[in-house]
A and B are shown apart, each in its own frame.
Chain A
Amino acid sequence: MSDNFKGMGAIPGIAIGRIKLVGQDLTKYLAAYKPGDKAEELEKLNKAIEMSAEILEKNVEAMRAKGQDDQADIMEAHSMLVQDPMLTDGMVEKTEELGNAAEAVIASSQESAAIFAEMDDDYLRERAADVLDVGKRIAKVILGIKEPELGDEKLILCGYSVEPSAVAAVPDEKIAGVIMGEGSTTCHAVIIAKSRAIPTVVGLDKTADELPDGSLAILNGKSGEIIVNPEPEVLADYKQKLKKIQEDIARYLALKDAPAETKDGVQIQLACNISSPADAESAEKYGNKGIGLFRSEFLFMQSNDIPSEETQYESYAKAVKACKGEMCVIRTLDIGGDKPLPYLNIPKEDNPFLGYRAIRISLQHKEIFMPQLKAILRAGVFGPTGIMAPMVISVDEVLQLRGVIREAMQELEDEGKEYSKHVQVGIMVETPAAAVMTPMLGKYVDFFSIGTNDLVQYTLSVDRINPNVGYLYNHFHPAVLQLIQRTIEAAEKHNIWSGMCGEMASDPYAAVILMAMGIKELSMSAPSIPRVKEMIRSVTYQQAKEILNAVMDLENGQEVAEYLHKALGEK
């Protein structure tokens, strides 16, 4: 009989492997440990610290040589912690006090971790886990515990708290997946897993320490499902799926440099959505052409105060440069009551999605908006750049936006700073009001980018996360399709470009009809690009037009989806 568990999908992908419990509990080892006299214990402690530092340094070198920089950075931080006088002095003191090096190391690292855990900064708080990890590493050397033997089978590392070093220690060919009891998706273990694309499920709570060690398991990093001891037919089925995924990846990577065009040569630009300049670099391998959405919020969320013009400029300039001459669209601050910034004091609202958010905040807070606009204008020197305003509902807002941009240019002029006069100004079409108004808004902007996540939500009055109504959310709903078509046609009439940066853009079936409507650009998370490109390359423009004509007559979203799947086949 197989056992099924469900956590939260953190890093998508399917993994098949043997469960290896790594959230090692040292209690029984500590109980069995027989300490020597004080001098011996101090000697053991020093040796263990030295050895741990040496091993870490070697690991860092090996990881750098393999180009695994994210992982190497984290292990380098551990290597510094192992040699940190504050931590090691504490360990020496505790050893003198307790006369037991192993106990002392654990106790002292727990004390130091507690200091970090109390800090008022998310980043520092999470470092508590690193300190504990380092302590355990040293204790294991003292206790003589060997790292797990790596057999021939791939492993799924599993534990309530999987330490970053545990993930880092297992090479790619040996690791299939990671299961964590904790719910964090930003802890170092998950970051390392992400940088190596290891399927990961989190949030299994205490169960993670109780899964049967050594059992065969299947893990789905998207749905969060875990099947322990699967039935043979289920296993065969998943092996088949895994094989298909691997074949798809190989095929997709081969498409990287192929143009995104139909069989009869109609081209469309496939750009990527990013949240930080680092994303732009990792997007390259998927063959993106430019950035259709840079969510500038990240800069504001990772900071304790409004990021300065310089800090923003550096980030935007990096992204613009990464586009290598293609367009880079930067969305101005898109926050509200649902994703607040502590230093902005936005009051809690009953209805944040209909409240004080996005452009509504920016236009009232020039001290926030001005540095952002100036930073974008300056970054524009490095290549084609666009400023995109979120949540617009009126011509008036666009005129105000234009006014603030003129002021920003004047300030830059006065300060003698270099900037681009050719930065495009556009809006995100994500409210039904904006979509209906596009024939008028088109006079005042350089582009429209359709944000489908909110557009669908507002048009259908459906909160997609609400489990009771989520099933009503459908980007093929005829009302949504008509608003999109209206937007694209308005752009054509005004001779400006239209794109899409919502999730719908990553749906290959949607891409076909959007292209037929005349959209010029689709922007999506980078890994979706090859799938959409493959679809575009499999049809002719004529065919796409015929399909569009047929679906625009259909009366509900479900029918549209079914029609598309029938006409285009399962992809």
Chain B
Amino acid sequence: MREEKFTIVNEQGLHARPAGQIAKESRNYKSKITLTIPETGKKSDAKSLMGIMTLKAKKGTVITITADGEDEDAVIERFGELIKTGFGED
């Protein structure tokens, strides 16, 4: 199992489009992927668009990605990059 923290940098936070991207891409991995907001304790399965949107992650929010499975390294690398580059939005 791997776990890493990232900070949301894009202006609009995890709104519909980036949330959709996470939900869609997480289907490509075998690992069980969970997103957690340490500050509020809210959790969501990364495959759930609705769950991600209800995390209400805004710009500056810290988010923990937990991946458990054979491709967990690839998950952390890919999702970390998505978040760090602001989902290509800004």
Which single residue of chain A is at the shortest CB-CB distance from B16? A123
Chain A 95-145 residues near chain B, CB threshold 8 A: 112, 115-116, 119, 121, 123-124, 127, 131
The stretch that binds A, out of B42-50, B67-75, B77-85, is B42-50
Q: Give the residues in chain A near B20, CB-CB below 8 Å.
A: 77, 80
User: Which residues of chain A are near B45, meaning CB under 8 Å?
Assistant: 85-86
Residue of B nearest to A112 (CB): B50
Cβ of A305 within 8 Å of any chain B Cβ, yes or no, is yes
B49/A311 in contact, CB under 8 A: no
| B47 touching A85, Cβ below 8 Å | yes
- A303 and B13 CA atoms in complex are apart in Å by 11
Q: Is A8 an interface residue (CB 8 A)?
A: no
Is there contact, CB below 8 Å, between A85 and B54? no
Whether B51 contacts A85 by the Cβ 8 Å rule is yes
Which residues from chain B contact A123 at a C-beta distance below 8 Å? 15-16
Question: What per-residue 1/0 map shows which CB atoms of B1-40 lie under 8 Å from chain A?
Answer: 0000000000110011000100110000000000000000
**Contact between B23 and A84, CB atoms less than 8 A apart:** yes
Interface string of A303-330 (1 = CB under 8 A from B): 1110110110000000000000000000
User: Shortest distance in angstroms between A60's beta carbon and chain B's nearest beta carbon?
Assistant: 13
A392 within 8 A of B: no
Q: Which residues of chain B have C-beta atoms less than 8 A from A311's C-beta?
A: 11, 89-90
Question: Is A87 on the interface with B (CB-CB < 8 A)?
Answer: yes
Complex interface: chain A residues within 8 A of B47 (CB): 83-85
Residue count of chain B within 8 Å CB distance of chain A = 19
Cross-chain contact of B11 among A85, A87, A124, A305 (Cβ < 8 A): A305
Q: Which of A268-315 contact B (CB under 8 A)?
A: 303-305, 307-308, 310-311
Q: Name B24's closest neighbour in chain A (CB-CB).
A: A80
> Which B residues are CB-close (under 8 A) to A303?
11-12
Contacts of A115 in B (CB 8 A): 50, 54
Q: Which residues of B contact A112 (CB under 8 A)?
A: 50
**Contact assessment for B49 and A81 in the assembled complex, using a CB-CB cutoff below 8 Å:** yes
Docked Cα-Cα span, A83 to B47, in Å, equals: 9
How far, in whole Å, are A103 and B24 apart by their CA atoms in the complex? 29
CA distance A112 to B53 in the complex (A): 12
Do A308 and B50 contact each other (CB < 8 Å), given the known contacts A77-B20, A86-B44, A123-B16? Answer: no
B11 contacts across to A, CB distance below 8 A: 303, 305, 307-308, 310-311
B54 near A310: Cβ-Cβ < 8 Å: no
In the complex formed, the residue of B with least CB distance to A90 is B50
Q: What's the Cα separation between A221 and B72 when bound, in Å?
A: 54
- Minimum Cβ distance to chain B for residue A200 (Å): 24
Task: For B45, give the chain A residue with the smallest CB separation.
Answer: A85
Chain A residues with CB under 8 Å of B53's CB are 119, 124, 127
B48 proximity list for chain A (CB < 8 A)? 84-87
Give the contacts of A37-84 with B (CB-CB under 8 A): 77, 80-81, 83-84
Complex-state Cα separation, A489 to B53, whole angstroms:
55
Query: Once bound together, how far apart are the Cα atoms of A123 and B24, in whole Å?
Result: 20
Question: CA–CA, A437 to B22, complex, Å?
Answer: 56
Instruction: Known A80-B24, A310-B90, A311-B90; judge A86-B15 contact (CB<8 A).
Output: no
**Nearest 10 Cβ contacts at the A-B interface:** A86-B48, A86-B51, A86-B50, A310-B90, A85-B48, A85-B45, A84-B48, A80-B49, A84-B50, A85-B47
Contacts of A83 in B (CB 8 A): 47
* Nearest residue, chain B, Cβ from A304: B12
CB distance from B77 to the nearest CB of A (A): 23
Residues of chain B lying within 8 A (CB to CB) of residue A119: 53-54, 56
Is there an interface contact between B90 and A308, defined as CB atoms closer than 8 Å? yes
B53, closest chain A residue (CB): A124
CA distance A84 to B51 in the complex (A): 9
B54 / chain A contacts, CB cutoff of 8 Å: 86, 115, 119
Tell me the minimal C-beta distance from B56 to chain A in angstroms.
8
State whether A84 touches B49 (Cβ < 8 A): yes
Distance A305 CA – B48 CA, assembled complex (angstroms): 26
A80-B23, A123-B16, A311-B11 known; A131 and B90 CB under 8 Å? no
CB-CB under 8 A from A308, the residues of chain B are 11, 90
Min distance, Cβ A102 to any Cβ of chain B, angstroms: 21
For the complex formed, measure the closest distance between the CB of A48 and the CB atoms of chain B, giving whole angstroms: 19
Of B24, B54, B89, most buried by chain A (CB within 10 Å of CB) is B54
Contact with B along A205-236 (1 / 0, CB 8 A): 00000000000000000000000000000000
Chain A contacts for B12, CB-based, 8 A: 303-304
Chain B residues within 8 Å of A310, by CB:
11, 90
Q: Name the B residues within 8 Å of A84 (CB-CB).
A: 23, 47-51
Given A77-B20, A80-B23, A310-B90, does the pair A131, B50 have CB atoms closer than 8 Å? yes
B15 → chain A closest CB, angstroms: 7
Residue of A nearest to B59 (CB): A305
A80-B23, A115-B50, A119-B56 known; 10 new pairs, CB 8 Å cut-off, are A77-B49, A81-B50, A83-B47, A84-B23, A86-B44, A86-B45, A87-B50, A127-B16, A305-B11, A310-B11
Give 22 pairs: A residue, B residue, CB < 8 Å, sorted on A. Answer: A77-B49, A80-B24, A80-B49, A81-B50, A83-B47, A84-B49, A85-B48, A86-B45, A86-B50, A86-B51, A115-B50, A115-B54, A119-B54, A119-B56, A124-B16, A131-B50, A303-B11, A307-B11, A308-B11, A308-B90, A311-B11, A311-B89
Minimum CB–CB distance from A69 to chain B (whole Å) comes to 15
Q: Which of the listed residues B15, B16, B20, B50 has the most CB atoms from chain A within 10 Å of its own CB?
A: B50
Among B12, B20, B45, B89: residue with most chain A CB under 10 A: B12
User: Which residues of B have CB within 8 Å of A124?
Assistant: 16, 53
Chain B nearest Cβ from A115, distance in angstroms:
6
Chain B residues closer than 8 Å to A85, beta-carbon distance: 45, 47-48, 51
Bound complex: CA A83 to CA B20 (Å): 12
A88 (CB) vs chain B CBs: closest residue: B48
A468 to B66, CA, bound (A): 63
Rounded to whole angstroms, the CA-CA distance of A265 and B89 in the bound complex is 46
User: Within the assembled complex, what's the spacing in Å between the Cα atoms of A123 and B12?
Assistant: 12
CA distance A433 to B74 in the complex (A): 64
